[in-house]
């Protein structure tokens, strides 16, 4: 009888996207009769526990990266490098202990660079093989490659060819043989994820009637999550628009105190209910995080992408898809809800 494989899955705590894109991987592992253990904490743990209440969870401290309220994102990240490097070293030590205690056969790390082992197969899930930065791109890429080289395989959640979603982040240069394009990873079941999926962007399957003008989906580290939330709330107050606001805080189980007659507000929505509200909404308003873009592409949904200020990866992805005619984009400082929605009339 074949021994059941035990797989450890660990997403990065940088917004919710790394956790949501692990959902289809976890479903796949379970369908293959593997035992799945999830290492995470905070919002990511809260989200995944709601999706997989029967699985084993092990507390794994996050990198706890903070975004600036204003000023230079690059400087803020630079100042946090010692903390990030310390977290990478700590999780590597943590992993050795967990492998022994739980007889792990495979480690799947979503962008956590310390979760590799010489004793078991280790896989890194990442779409950001190359970077977009205000300076020092080559140096940053060399440092990243040093981390990548510790893993047996690199799984890239994208497709090859012109219809890819990550652009230069994954496709700038030829890649080694142990780098695999595994297709898009969407949290939504039965979403059509194929090599031509990006052709569906902004061409959502028509329905007879949209109940809501928009659904705004918030995510990412503070304080920028709250800043964008307040911008949206203020603009909804002075409009006649009917919408949904998903705050992106799954760890908060208290009743949401935000009151607005034309706006339904949720701290978090589980996958099935979330998909239902997206289908009932004409346009999605969201950050331009890569996991969000994969979900939008899989659903063929129209969207206004608002990059987190100073987050160069999100700024690049928003521009990349806008220039391909797939999504509309606005800067957060220039965000205009009514103007954005007029683009879809």
188 in any annotated domain: no
Specify whether 110 is located in the same domain as 159: yes
Q: Considering the domain boundaries, does residue 210 fall inside one?
A: yes
What is the reported pLDDT for 197?
Answer: 46
User: From the CB of residue 230, how many other CB atoms can be counted at a distance below 10 Å?
Assistant: 10
Q: Provide the pLDDT for residue 196.
A: 43
What pLDDT score does 308 carry? 94
Range of the domain at 141: 6-181
In a domain, 156, yes or no: yes
The pLDDT value given to residue 260: 74
Distance CA 192, CA 200 (A): 9
In a domain, 291, yes or no: yes
Q: Quick one: 177 and 206 in the same domain?
A: no
Number of domains in the chain: 2
What is the reported pLDDT for 94? 98
Is the bond leading into 58 cis (omega within 30 degrees of zero)? no
pLDDT for 190: 61
Q: State the 10-residue block means of pLDDT for the chain, 345 residues long.
A: 91 92 97 98 95 98 83 78 93 98 98 98 98 87 96 98 95 96 89 46 59 95 92 91 94 74 90 95 97 95 95 95 96 96 87
Q: Is residue 186 domain-resident?
A: no
Handedness of CA 94, 95, 96, 102 (dihedral sign): positive
Do residue 251 and residue 300 come from a single domain? Answer: yes
Q: Is residue 79 part of a domain?
A: yes
**Cα dihedral 311/312/313/314 (nearest 10):** 60
Residues 243 and 140 in one domain: no
> Do residues 268 and 165 both lie within one domain?
no
One domain, residues 257 and 282: yes
Q: Examine the fold and report which residue of 148, 181, 214 is the final residue of a domain before the chain moves on.
A: 181
């Amino acid at each position: 009888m074949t021994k059941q494989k035990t797989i450890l899955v660990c997403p990065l705590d940088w917004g919710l996207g790394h956790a949501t894109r692990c959902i289809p991987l976890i479903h796949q592992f379970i369908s293959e009769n593997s035992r799945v253990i999830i290492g995470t904490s905070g919002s990511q743990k809260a989200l995944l526990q709601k999706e997989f209440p029967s699985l084993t969870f092990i507390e794994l401290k996050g990198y706890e990266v903070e975004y600036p309220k204003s000023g230079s994102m690059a400087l803020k990240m630079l100042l946090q490098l010692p903390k990030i490097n310390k977290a990478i070293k700590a999780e590597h030590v943590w992993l050795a202990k967990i492998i022994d205690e739980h007889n792990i056969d495979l480690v799947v790390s979503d962008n956590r660079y310390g979760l590799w082992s010489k004793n078991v197969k280790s896989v890194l899930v990442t779409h950001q093989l190359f970077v977009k930065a205000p300076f020092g791109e080559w140096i940053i890429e060399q440092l990243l490659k040093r981390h990548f080289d510790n893993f047996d395989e690199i799984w890239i959640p994208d497709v090859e060819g012109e219809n890819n979603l990550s652009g230069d982040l994954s496709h700038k240069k030829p890649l080694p043989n142990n780098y695999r394009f595994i297709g898009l990873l969407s949290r939504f079941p039965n979403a059509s994820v194929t090599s031509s999926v990006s052709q569906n962007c902004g061409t959502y399957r028509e329905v007879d009637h949209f109940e809501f003008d928009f659904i705004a989906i918030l995510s990412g580290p503070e304080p920028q999550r709250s800043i964008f939330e307040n911008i949206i709330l203020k603009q909804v107050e002075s409009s006649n628009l009917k919408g949904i606001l998903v705050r992106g805080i799954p760890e908060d189980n208290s009743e949401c105190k935000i009151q607005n007659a034309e706006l339904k507000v949720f701290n978090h929505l589980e996958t099935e209910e979330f998909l239902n509200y997206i289908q009932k909404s004409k346009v999605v308003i969201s950050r331009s995080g890569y996991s969000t873009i994969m979900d939008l592409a899989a659903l063929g949904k129209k969207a206004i992408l608002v990059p987190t200020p100073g987050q160069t990866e999100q700024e690049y992805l928003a521009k990349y898809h806008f220039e391909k005619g797939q999504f509309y984009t606005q800067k957060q400082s220039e965000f205009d809800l009514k103007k954005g929605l007029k683009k879809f009339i």
